[in-house]
C-alpha cells in the first residue's frame, strides 16, 4: 500500500515538473541555447522537446544495457549461468 502511494506521488511530481518545464519553454519564446565548450546550439521549443526525448531514450537504453551486462557478469561468475533452467 505504501509503495502504491509512493508511485502515485512520483507520477504527480513528474507531471508537475513536465508542466512547469513546458510553461518555462513557452515563456522563452526564442528557444533554448545550449553551449558545449566553444560550440553553441540554438534550439526552438519543438526542437528542445525532441532533443530532450532523444537524450532520455539514449539514457534509458544505456541503463538497460548496463543492467543486462552486470546481470550476465554476475551469473557467469557464479558458474550457474550455463545450467540455468536445467535439471541435474
What is d(CA 42, CA 26) in angstroms, rounded to the nearest whole number? 15
28-42, 45-59, 65-79: range with lowest mean pLDDT: 65-79
What residues contact residue 57 under an 8 Å CB cut-off, 6+ apart? Answer: none
Domain chopping of the chain, boundaries: 45-75
Per-residue pLDDT band for 16 (boundaries 50, 70, 90) equals very high
The C-alpha cell of 28 is what? Answer: 522563452
pTM for this model (two decimals): 0.54
pLDDT digit string, tens, across residues 25-49: 778 776 788 898 999 988 888 888 8
Please list the helix, strand and coil fractions of the chain in percent, rounded to the nearest 5, in that order.
75, 10, 15
User: Mean pLDDT: which of 14-18, 27-31, 65-69 is highest?
Assistant: 14-18
Amino acid at each position: 500500500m505504501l509503495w502504491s502511494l509512493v508511485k502515485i506521488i512520483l507520477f504527480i511530481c513528474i507531471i508537475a515538473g513536465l508542466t512547469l518545464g513546458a510553461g518555462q519553454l513557452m515563456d522563452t519564446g526564442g528557444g533554448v541555447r545550449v553551449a558545449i565548450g566553444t560550440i553553441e546550439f540554438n534550439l526552438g521549443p519543438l526542437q528542445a522537446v525532441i532533443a530532450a526525448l532523444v537524450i532520455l531514450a539514449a539514457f534509458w537504453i544505456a541503463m538497460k544495457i548496463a543492467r543486462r551486462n552486470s546481470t550476465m557478469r554476475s551469473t557467469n561468475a557464479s558458474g550457474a549461468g550455463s545450467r540455468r533452467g536445467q535439471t541435474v
